[in-house]
Amino acid sequence: MHWSLIIYAGIITFVTRFSMIFFLKKDILGDKAKKVLSFVPAAIFPAIIFPPIFLDDTGTVDLESNPKILAAIFAIVVGYFSKNIIATIFAGLISYWFLIFFYF
């Protein structure tokens, strides 16, 4: 990693935050555009979440000897019922440790 990369990433981050505040006087995004933009986390985060869970070190899909899938499912169940971010992370992490130490 090079510092210049972090600086560019910082500039991009700033521009996405600043541009609309700078150029718009009023809120001009239509309801439809807003609705689609509200899906951005749901559209992007799974692309970050899925590959490290389902793929092994060689990059092939591993569905059998994979404690991460079970731990992720457990985290989803806890998240669904508790609606608590910290509980979700720890449920996944602790069940993952439990699985790798005792079963896998």
Q: Does 85 bind other proteins (CB under 8 A)?
A: yes
- Please list the alpha-helical segments (H only) found in 24-84: 31-37, 40-54, 67-82
Q: Report which residue type is found at 98.
A: F
Element (H, E) at 14: helix 3-23
Nearest approach, Cβ of residue 57 and other proteins (Å) = 12
Q: How far apart are CA 30 and CA 48, in angstroms?
A: 29
Q: Report which residue type is found at 71.
A: A
Q: Does 65 bind other proteins (CB under 8 A)?
A: no
Q: Does 63 bind other proteins (CB under 8 A)?
A: no
Residues that bind other proteins (CB under 8 A): 1, 3, 5-10, 12-14, 16-29, 32, 34-55, 59, 61, 68, 71-72, 75-76, 79-80, 83-86, 88-89, 92-93, 96-97, 100
